[in-house]
Amino acid sequence: MFSFVEFCLWNASDDSENFQRNFSTGEVEVEGSVIYHKTEYKERRNHYAFYSVNSKIDGFDTDRDLFVGLYNGFSEPQAVLNGQATNSVASGWVPIASHQINIDLKPGEEKTLIFILGYVENKQEEKWESKGVINKTKAKDMINKFKTEADVSKAFEELKSYWDKLLNNYTLKSDDEKLNRMVNIWNPYQCMITFNMSRSASYFESGIGRGMGFRDSNQDLLGFVHQIPERARQRIIDIASTQFEDGGCYHQYQTLTNKGNNDIGSGFNDDPLWLILGVTAYIKESGDEDILKEQVPFDSDVNNTATLMHHLKVSFDHVINNRGPHGLPLIGHADWNDCLNLNCFSTTPGEPFQTTENKEGGNAEKDIDSVKEKLDTKYGIRLNWPAFTTYHVEMGGISTYPAGYKENTGIFCHNNPWIACAETVIGRGDRAFEIYKKIAPAYIEEEYNVKRNYKGCEYDVTVKNPNGVSRGVKLRKIKIIMIVTYMKLILKKKMQQKI
């Protein structure tokens, strides 16, 4: 049996671009059954990674080209085809970690192996155990923590208990099994993942720039504040700490430093108001009004602070003090619809793009009826209709997307609940539930159960795309056949040798 991981080089952007350097920096150490990835550790890094197995090994590889083969793919690594690792030690090129373990199994016999992929940080004065040899103390402690099956089982039970506690804060019991599953499991789980990883469409999870959104993170609070109010409190403080004294704010911030991100900058004029909504939701859930007295920095400067209540006041003032000739708030760089960034095409600073003014009266029910008539589909409510089919420089980014994608008539999960909320306000609960079911996976999973088979994989995909409605992968099922194939190769070869 062969294991395999390919190590990153710590910087996702540089990893994919700077080949003249990256192919010359890879370094590893191999000690027993543990492979340590220490690229750049001796100069700019205080961290390394490791890959271990709780078994004696019969070979290893740390050089990708020697393991995979110069002209092979991952579906047929040369070392596996040969039935023998090369014991390569990466020096430059692309560092990997692969263990070879020869296993003889009698009929009905089972054997369990524990693989650990870990990450360690060391203080500058604790980086080395001897010249050129990394300090492995923390790695060995981590490996010993999961040394036996009982250790691993205990860890999984602790993880299960953590999620049980988290998901039991709020429980729905109804006659609708699908609704129970969505409210009790799917929705709170997704909200927690969003809290930890920000929005899945962002650059954040790829490791490249950007960070987490000021607006996004405040909105996310609404979904998980009842599950982890203490962490919601800290998130509020972190978000508000990146705000400016005039109430404006960075559109995004980096969670490791809690500092605003200059790559995107500021000027998204709806951002400050979301802080008010996030704090309000937290206080309603926790009753912690003392958070309003908390001293919070401006622009991450601990020498320049004000109460959180003052931060909320300047958030509101920022909107009131930045209005156009019709009395409507200025969009700035963009509002909640980031693709409506019209001022990107202006040559005049602060030029307003407003074509109307506030109107008295109106009929909310009539407006919502129009949403159903003009924007509703079998798959949810579109953002707009009809779609832009040609690029309009005066309309900005919205017209850059093909019809049915993103803001150009795409169906977003978040705009549908807003309409559902509006339907409940005017007393049409059945219509609100109808909207909810169109975007809830539990209610649509059977309809989308269309399968396409590929070598080694089975995919479930959405194939319908009427009227420019977005299509995409709904579910991926990956059959783990490769590692079994490798084992069969080894066992078959051994049996032939014995015969």
* CB-CB contact of 110 with 11 (8 Å): no
| Of 318, 196, 204, residue with least CA distance to 266 | 318
Cα separation, 440 vs 385, whole angstroms: 22
Q: In what order do the strands lie in the sheet with 252-254?
A: 212-213, 252-254, 259-260
| Of 217, 301, 200, 296, residue with least CA distance to 255 | 217
Burial label, 442 (beta-carbon count in 10 A; 0-12, 13-18, 19+): middle
Phi, psi of 497 (to 5 degrees): -65, -40
Give the gyration radius of the chain's Cα atoms: 28
> 338 catalytic, yes or no?
yes
Taking each helix axis from N to C end, the angle separating 214-224 and 271-286, rounded to the nearest 10 degrees, works out to 20
* Chain Cα centroid distance, residue 231: 18
* CB-CB contact of 482 with 456 (8 Å): yes
* CB-CB contact of 36 with 29 (8 Å): yes
Which of 338, 367, 376, 430 does the annotation list as catalytic? 338
Q: Which residues are known catalytic residues?
A: 338
